[in-house]
Structure 1
Amino acid sequence: MANTREHTFIMVKHDGVQRGLIGEIIRRFENRGFKLVAIKSIQATRAQLEVHYEDHKGKNYFESLLGYGSSGPAIAMVWEGHGVITAGRSILGATDPIKAQPGTIRGDYATAIGRNVVHGSDSEKAAKREIDVWFKPEEILTWHRAGAQHLHDKYNE
């Protein structure tokens, strides 16, 4: 069985915050049975964003990514659950909203690649790195979700 305590990093970007989509994004993850273990409102600095988006360094859109990412508030979250990284990417939809399926967050709300509402980790390695950028270890809560036995065949919490 896969690790039920897998973590992923999800960020409601500046455009999602400005459009009032925080609750909708949280609802979609909760409805899938994932557990919110950390959340905070942030004003990202350029230095944080450089580390967060280090895989994009050297690409022609890197500077605009940093500029937009630091231009307004965002919501940083850590979600926990069985397969949360893969499922989280599915919930978010394709990065390009034109390619994102209806019913995904980006398919329903994103307007352009640069205004795609959310960011989500794409691998365990990325999730660990991104969580470490935005959260101290003591900010990640461990708690038991009532009714967890109804979410998975085998739930070892």
Structure 2
Amino acid sequence: MSNGIYVQRTLAIIKPDAVQKAEEIEDIILRSGFTILQKRWIHLSPEQCSEFYSEHSSKIFFPSLVAFMSSDPIVVMELAKENAISSWRNLIGNTNSHKARNLEPESIRAKYGRDEQRNAVHGSDSEMSAEREIRFFFGRSIVEPIPTDQAAKDYLEGKLNPTILKALTQLCKEKPHDPVTWLADWLLANNPYKPLVNTRVTVVEQ
């Protein structure tokens, strides 16, 4: 049985109106427990924006949305966390930045958004949307399981700590002149998970 779990993924976009605050927003994302799996700075063309927002093509705001989203670079991120979609939507707040300031003053849109369109960030609204949007920007990414805190602790205690303990014990005994290099060499030589290679050479008589 694997120690890892497949956490949910979602797409986050820092829009043109907030891209100058990208570093601050990324810090909020990380402090809120998200893992940034992939990130791209990109300047979309109007055609690319039209494709991405195609579900809104019949809406009256569609032309202005395309013009806004293609006006300057954006930051696109694939985020991971348990319940990532709802967690990210809660963190960014109401679509209308004015309402967000009244109802959710600590949300990202309340802090960095201006109005309903220039609202700082985007978040996928469903698993289907998240998969489509991630695929749009990053292709067909295959994500390994991200371990829970307990799984990570179990992995360290069961797989890494015993080897590290042996290495440090030997280091204390030998007291090498360059302990960092010695430790690196020792770990390479004594890695219990390195593949075993048959070094014997068979000579075939002609």
Partner of 1:75: 75
> Which one of the candidate residues 133, 142, 146 is aligned to 1:130?
133
Identical counterparts, % of pairs: 31
Q: Secondary structure at the match of 1:94?
A: coil
Q: Distance in 2 between matches of 1:150 and 1:13?
A: 36
- Which structure has more relative contact order (CA 8 Å, sep 6+)? It is 1
Work out the CA distance in 2 between the residues paired with 1:143 and 1:37. 12
Matches within 5 A, 1:7-156: 7-17=9-19, 20-100=20-100, 101-138=104-141, 142=144, 148-149=148-149
Q: Is the 1:46–1:66 contact (alpha carbons within 8 Å) kept by the matching residues of 2?
A: yes
Normalising by structure 2, we get a TM-score of 0.64
Task: Name structure 1 gaps, 5 residues minimum.
Answer: 152-157
Equivalents in 2 of 1:86, 1:144: separation in Å? 18
- Higher mean Cα deviation, 37-46 or 47-56? 47-56
C-alpha contact (below 8 Å) 2:6/2:144 kept by paired residues: no
Give the AA of the match of 1:31: R
How far, CA to CA, are the matches of 2:79 and 2:92 in structure 1? 13
The CA deviation string for residues 102-127 of structure 1, in whole angstroms up to 9 with x for no partner, is 00000112111121111110110110
8 Å CA contact 1:97, 1:113 repeated in 2:
yes
Aligned length: 144
Cα distance in 1 for partners of 2:150, 2:13 equals 27
Distance 2:33 2:112 in 1: 22
Match of 1:6 in 2: 8
Equivalent position SS for 2:99: coil
Cα deviations by residue, 1:19-70 (Å, 9 ceiling, x for unpaired): x211121112211211110001001122321222122111111001011111
CA RMSD of aligned residues (A): 2.0
Does the CA-based 8 Å contact 1:48-1:133 persist in structure 2?
no
Structure 2: runs of 5 or more not aligned: 152-206
Q: Which residue of 1 aligns with 2:186?
A: none
SS in structure 2 at match of 1:134:
helix
TM-score, normalised to structure 1, is 0.83
- Which structure has greater helix proportion? 2
How many angstroms apart in 2 are the aligned matches of 1:142 and 1:24?
A: 27
Deviations 1:57-107 (A, max 9, x none): 111110010111111100010001100100000010001011111000001
Does the 8 Å CA contact 1:7/1:85 hold for their aligned counterparts?
yes
Residue 142 of structure 1 and its aligned partner are, at CA, apart by 4.3
